[in-house]
Every structure is written in structure tokens, then in C-alpha cells.
Amino acid sequence: MGMASKLRKANKKIKDASEPQEFCWMIPGRLSTCEHPGGRGRRHDKERLSREIAFLRSVGVTTVVSLLLEEHNLREYREAGLKCHHLPLRVDPPPQTGLVQFDFDISQMIASQLPELFSYLDRALANRREVYCMHLDGGRDTIGSIVASYFLHTGEAKNAEEAIARVEKIKGHRIAKRVGVVYEFAGVTIGNPP
């Protein structure tokens, strides 16, 4: 295949691609995050999924890390040539409890699950050949709080405030709804941040 043909093929892939909502590079060229490709719930769209997978591939993503409870889109990622890892993370209270859950309860629940995820990310990011995209359903604030906690875990941030500020600068918006996760992970009693 000649160079002109390769360029036309590459340009078509990019033209057929669309950026997933909330896509951003948390660690440039290594770890990105986004909303669930294809949308979530009833808004899930197979055509959109296909375009968003094409985008991920066009920016060099080789592995998708799904934090969804269910194994949604894993087959589609593999069929598109992406590796995928399913590391389910409960981010809402179990529906059968029938209890009203306060934010600090949810933050504690999420923070308690992070060491396993971070152990995976440590091993994964040590492999310099792979480029990752991690996603949740929606996850605008939750995924940001998870990455802020990861910055604390790796020592890239000295405290919860620094980690939160770094993620908010990268994402271009506040992650106020789930900052409790970062404080909880940092060992700060929620409701009494320093």
C-alpha cells in the first residue's frame, strides 16, 4: 500500500471518529478518561460507540479500562482491536438497601475500592507500550476524584487539595460532587477537610 493510500485511510478513520464526552488526558500520552463510549443507559448508541472507539484508536489508545459494574462494550472494544480490562467499581449504593445514602457514605465506599484499581494502574502504566483510557458511566466528577486520588497514591500530589486542583485544571471544571472520595482516600475525615 502506497503512502498516499495510507494517508487517505488514516484521514477517513479520523473523519469517522468523534471524541467521547469528557475525554481528556490525565497523564499525557499514557492515561486518558472519558464518559462511557457510546453514551450510557437508554442513550447508548452503537454508531456513536463505533465513532468514539475510532477516536480512541486515532489518539493512540491501546487499552480500555472499564470501571462499569456490567461488562458493557467489552466485545466491541476487542473487535476494534483494543485490549480491555474490566475492573468493576461500585459508585452508587446497592439498590436493594432501600436506604438514603449520604455523600460521605458513597465516598467511603468508592475510596475503599481504590487500592485494587491503583495496584492495576501501577502495573499497567509501568508498561510504556500501552496507552490507556479509563471510563465510567457519566462519571464526570467520580472519574476525576479517582484520578485525583491516584495522584495522591503515586505522590504526584502532596495533599487532597493539590490533587483536586490538578485534576480540575486538566478537566477544565470542578469535581465538587465527589471530592469526598479524595479526602476519604487521603485519610481526612469527610466534613472536616484541613
Q: What is the pLDDT of residues 31-82, one digit of tens each?
A: 999 998 998 766 678 899 999 999 999 999 999 999 998 888 999 999 999 9
Q: Going from the N-terminus, what domains does the chain have, and what CATH number goes with each?
A: 20-186 (3.90.190.10)
pTM, two decimal places: 0.82
> Has residue 125 got a pLDDT over 80?
yes
* Residue 156 phi, psi (nearest 5): -75, -15
**DSSP assignment string, 150-194:** HHHHHTSSSSHHHHHHHHHHHHTS--GGGHHHHHHHHTPPTT---
Q: What is the pLDDT of residues 128-185, one digit of tens each?
A: 899 999 998 766 788 999 999 999 999 999 999 999 999 999 999 998 878 889 998 9
Min mean pLDDT across 20-29, 110-119, 137-146 is at: 137-146
